[in-house]
Amino acid sequence: MTEQAESSDTAKPLLFLPASALMHHGHIDDDHRELIGMLNRMLLAAGAHGTLGGAAFAEGLQSFIARAERHFRDEEQAMAAVAYPQLAQHKLHHADVLRRLAGALRDTAVQSKVAAAEVYDLFNFILDDLLRADLAFKSFLDATRKAKCASAD
């Protein structure tokens, strides 16, 4: 889930949403792209120095957490609307992700600088985890669509 993007002086690793992870349901894909965009802006803010000020990182992470909370609420509503059978487990997963993000915020808020590599590793792990958790919902949606198409024939 990374790609190389050329900048004026070096190639920077950027996160992206692979086509295979698209949900094709409501605004979920747009939300995922927005969250990934927030992560990329933080990575790019580290710039050529390879570090991000601790306060800047904490501010970016706070914004990311707030947006993730809204996304999780919206996604859970979308899951409830289609009677997703694993909604309860997915809610627990969301709570765990938010707990880990809050821990990362506590850990980095006191640092004067955060290495871009640390930012990248943290977010790549969280992004992978979020997308993996959503793959079960994607499979459910795909199966539901196929069943509707088959019953329409």
Domain presence at residue 43? yes
Which has more confidence, 153 or 73?
73
Residue 78's domain spans which residues? Answer: 2-133
Domain presence at residue 145? no
Q: Are strands 51-53 and 113-115 parallel, antiparallel or unpaired?
A: antiparallel
Domain presence at residue 66? yes
- H-state helical runs in the chain: 28-45, 54-81, 87-109, 116-152
3-state SS, residue 119: helix
Domain presence at residue 141? no
Domain presence at residue 142? no
Quote the pLDDT of residue 48. 65
Domain presence at residue 139? no
Domain presence at residue 143? no
Residue 93 is part of a domain; what is its CATH number? 1.20.120.50
Each residue's pLDDT tens digit, 77-127: 999 999 999 999 999 999 988 998 888 888 877 777 777 777 777 777 777
Q: Are strands 51-53 and 2-6 parallel, antiparallel or unpaired?
A: unpaired
Each residue's pLDDT tens digit, 26-48: 899 999 999 888 888 888 887 76
Domain presence at residue 49? yes
What is the percent of the chain with per-residue pLDDT over 90, rounded to a whole number? Answer: 35
User: How many domains does the chain fold into?
Assistant: 1
Total count of residues recorded for the chain: 153
